[in-house]
A and B are shown apart, each in its own frame.
Chain A
Amino acid sequence: MKTFVCIKYVPDTSEAEVKVNPDGITVDQSRFSFDINDADNYAVEESVLIKEDKGGEVTVLSIGPKQSEVMIRMAMAKGCDQAVRVEDDRIAAHDPLMVARVLAGSIKGQEFDLVLTGCYAADDGHMATGVALAEELGVNHASMVNKVEVLDGKVKVHRELEGGLAEVVEIELPAVLTIQTGGNEPRYAPIRGIRQAQKKELNVVGLDDLGIDPAEVGVDASQVVLEQLYIPEIEAKAEFIEGEPEEKAEKLASILVKGGLL
């Protein structure tokens, strides 16, 4: 099996205070911690599990800054074999289609069976890059995958649907799978492994090296214009219900009925 796994370096905004910069379209990142996107971490684990089971090799692919190399080295410490990091200011990175084109351009011309990526990026939350990548590569895809079984020339995957439903599909290889969280348990990358991974090949490339025309992946090619980022105003309110338990229950019930919730 020859697998590519596409990963993204994202800020952890779960607890951090998010401030929009005066330009209105970027966020102050100075106080964030950064790490591999959660769903991508599961994609890395899945790629390594497939390699351990079926053999082959895994290439990490990421578009991101120099600082993201620690994340790439961690993926290689876990078992990925080599990596390509794309860095080029001309990429319209806010548009998942442009990102998909760059990723596809990095893969095209090479043999592959599977391309794995997280189903969702924690920063922009488009859930579109993986599917767009399949389109750009002209191959099959399955999204929201939480179980992968490699068969002869195809994969059988479980897709997580809403309402607790699962869909099982078989698709012909080569294919792109977008991996949902929770399907495996991403391993730890021990520091000795990370040090050993320094010996593995990590190529840093730009659009010119990949033979990608900047005009096709830049702001002018993108049909997505990022107009504004803002923190939504808090509109919810809390009301404390006073009284004896029976009174409280009665008041609560009447609020729920009036609100159309019961």
Chain B
Amino acid sequence: MDFIKSVSDKEIVDRIYSHYTHYDPVQSALIPLLQEIQAKLGYLSTAALNRVSELLHLPPSQVYGVATFYHQFRLSPKGEHMITVCRGTACHVHGSLELYNFLNQQLGITPPQDTSPDGLFTVQQVRCLGACALAPVIKVDETVYGKVDHVKIRGILRTARKGGKQE
């Protein structure tokens, strides 16, 4: 983490952009570029968005417009672990909204905030993960958990806390 902090967002964007110069027209690289920047930084910072606008010769309003249009992009830093609650129809009829509220309550998050005060967890909703047959489904970082309930969620949080904290 410290290593990343020592390099400015601008430099990171420049480095990533060097892989996208072959796009023709170069403006069509906007979405893949933002995706890779977010993968690196965890979110899209103002500095990063401004740099993208310079590099692609696009007005900042257009870059910001795209960044706010799609679900994948976030404009604020995220916690160490990302918890994604699937809000597809099958998950909905299996009570996923209630699970989402439960997670927030367990982690002390009050929406519209989405990150726990200790910075360990960010909770977000997603349209559909496509694992409808195992509803309700949540994803912690890259691991998908099916048929979750309160008991399972408590266990998942315990495991994530242990893995996430150096003790």
User: Is B one of A's binding partners?
Assistant: no
Interface residues of B (CB under 8 A from A): none
Interface residues of A (CB under 8 A from B): none
